[in-house]
Amino acid sequence: MAKGIREIRSRIKSFKNTRQITKAMKMMAAARLRRAQERAEAARPYAHKIREVIASIASGTTAVKHPMLESRPVKKTGYIVITSDRGMAGGYNGNVIRKVLQAIKEKHKSQDEYAIFVLGRKGRDFFRKRNYPIIDEVVGLPGNPTFADIKKIASAAVQMFADEKIDELYLCYNEFRSAISQVPTITRLLPLNAVESGEQRQMNYEYEPSAEEVLSVLLPKYAETLVYSALLDAKASEEGARMTAMGNATDNATAMIDKLTLEYNRARQAAITQEISEIVAGANAQA
């Protein structure tokens, strides 16, 4: 009985230590979430302004054409998949990976028909272990990523589309809705034919040297900006998912502590009752 009580006491201590850690991680994730939200919101005006200029050029001059605005027969598809470098974030990584696998299964019959660009160690390890065709990767991103951190992989993906090595490009990430809601999303990044009718407010601009040349510079930058904006959104989603996961872990640890405490008290009561019974039995035997 004494051995059982010591084991329960040890488990209670272990769960208390775990609760302390998960509670601290929840608080850290909450602080990082606020900063990640602010960065994601700060990046949106730049993307909106580039989109406005592109929409103005594309809709205002019918002669302006660019390969990034035109659809072509799809022979090969590219996927930019954004995951995290660290775990302990609930279903954050698993949800977006399952979404990508479902899309691949539905659209492709062989690995020759698609290529993967992956951001984050969790996604990289998953796809590499299963021999999926990874073209490029970025791991070890800081908690506050800059555009320079993903410029190379974003440019490589856009250039492959421009060189017609891939015929469409999708962006796969967790869209941030709230601290408790992150939605795995796959959105088409290229071709950008949606921008032609995407802007309702039209502005008049003068271009130097020409609208075509301005468009040829802005379109790749816009596509790269969308990747960076999605990364910032994914970072906010990651911290929200981690905060929720650590909150649930803290609540579960508390529930286990309460359960084990009740079990411990019952075991102690049973041990004390047994000792009293033995003492009374011994006294009666001597009487």
Domain borders along the chain are: 2-25+245-286, 44-243
Handedness of CA 67, 73, 75, 80 (dihedral sign): positive
Q: What is the pTM of this model?
A: 0.84
Tell me the fold of 44-243.
Pyruvate Kinase; Chain: A, domain 1 (3.40.1380)
Fold match between 2-25+245-286 and 44-243?
A: no
What is the rounded distance in angstroms from the CA atom of residue 273 to the CA atom of residue 261? 18
Specify the pLDDT at position 3.
62
Kindly state the average pLDDT of the residues 227-249. Answer: 93
Architecture of the domain delimited by 2-25+245-286: Orthogonal Bundle (1.10)
What is the rounded distance in angstroms from the CA atom of residue 172 to the CA atom of residue 96? 7
Specify the pLDDT at position 71.
83
Query: Above 50 in pLDDT, residue 200?
Result: no
Specify the pLDDT at position 199.
44
* Residue 71 Cα to chain centre, angstroms: 29
Query: Above 50 in pLDDT, residue 197?
Result: no
* Residue 201 Cα to chain centre, angstroms: 32
Between 223 and 70, residue with greater pLDDT = 223
Local confidence band at 64 (pLDDT 50, 70, 90 cut-offs): low
